[in-house]
Structure 1
Amino acid sequence: MAELADLSHHEHGDTEGLGNRLNWLRAGVLGANDGIVSVAGLVMGVAGATDDRSAILIAGIAAVAAGALSMGAGEYVSVSTQRDAELALVTAEQHDLQRMPEEELRHLTAMLEERGMSPETAATAARELTEWNALRVHSYLEFGIDVDDVTNPWSAAAASMVAFTLGALLPMLTILLPSPERIYVTVLAVLVALAVTGWGSATLGFANWRRAALRNVLGGAFAMGVTYLIGSLIGTQLGTQL
């Protein structure tokens, strides 16, 4: 009954519950990670081809704008699809409760028995929970959906866009430094930031943060190395032709 007790403590007026908070937090962490990696790779590639900071700045701004809009739109579509699926399941369950309440009561009793209740206790609990809020209980136990906390696509999209932009600002600012060591500063700053986002994503998913941070760091290092190499080769070729 612990799961159902948690539901009863969820305030009815709370439009931004735990599921939604985790959803936009996940979108924010992933958005920041994508912003760091994609923009770092792009500006490193341009920096490999030219020392013109104006060209690097223009390319970086374009990458930030396009990436943030793409992330926001993609997150909105993805979460909207999830929300539509959840609402469809809840609507179907509501129809079943209206058309065959006795069968749904037996189903609820069986689900409670599967969770360790005796048949007598399960039958009593099923009747009481049905009187309390049948739709909420069935939706939660059958599909893991809290009808008062259905995912919000707008919050996820906004979190993704803002986080992408903030993450992208790091390589943008470091690559524009006048110092001749700006490449090394950018690489170091990006790798540290990727370690942090790797830790954050692992913490949200209760996974091994060391492994997640290492994956992020290696992936970012590879992306920056490849794009810088490509930019250097293109810059050399163009310089030779000109």
Structure 2
Amino acid sequence: MWVDTHCHLDAGEFGERSAILADEAAQAGVRVIVIPAIARANFARVGQLAREVGNAVYALGIHPLYVPSSQESDLALLREAIAAALDDPLFVGIGEIGLDFFVPALKEPPLREKQEFFFAEQLKLARDFALPVLLHVRRSQDIILKHLRRIRVPGGIAHAFNGSDQQARTFVELGLHLGFGGAMTFPRALQIRRLAAELPLSSIVLETDAPDIAPAWRHPEINTPDQIPRIGQVLAELRGLPQQEVAAATTANARAALPRLASSGLSF
């Protein structure tokens, strides 16, 4: 069995097919799909979708790409949404949150400062509610680590990890797991593949980031959560392990990264 620790199942690219795609993933052995929110506009939708499809859970947060259009009042609404979701067994954490310094406009003041403010405030929510985080870390690993050292959170996942060996090990030392997905399947992604092969297996979880980051065999088509087993097979080959061992390990790692999965009621 497998866990997709990061999938935007509510994305517009999927149209009305979200439930079908979740079912196809379940038939492929993906027992749990984690759906992160991206902004105030989909806080309610991710929870509703998780309840509808039957093999999904959700997280609540404001994605850095949506920070420019967000208001400070949205953070207060996020706090209220988190508090209201605590009794929902399908609610597992805070995300997708983080920093994005790949998009040129976002790494220049004042948007850089706004991103960091929203990130720090959401880390405080994770700390205050004792919840793990789903982190967006694109071209921002060192700054994110600076904030994580200052505002300690109870674990989580550095999603779509693509950093250095030292950065990877620092995230792990701070209690985070590292998400690997479609990028790992490209033969030219040498650094990502080396990390996937050499980091402790206990630090790795699998993800699709669907509809984005399609694996090599799907590119440039959109990604879907049923691709997790084949992505897991690539990880198994990189590490020289049986696929079943990688499935068991990454599922256990997902449980460790997102402890509320254990009380979600899902069978995995």
Is the TM value for this pair above 0.5?
no
Question: Counting helix residues as a fraction of each chain, which structure ranks higher?
Answer: 1
Structure of larger gyration radius: 1
With CA pairs under 8 Å and 6+ residues apart, which has the higher RCO, 1 or 2? 1
TM-score (norm 2): 0.24
TM-score (normalizing by structure 1): 0.26
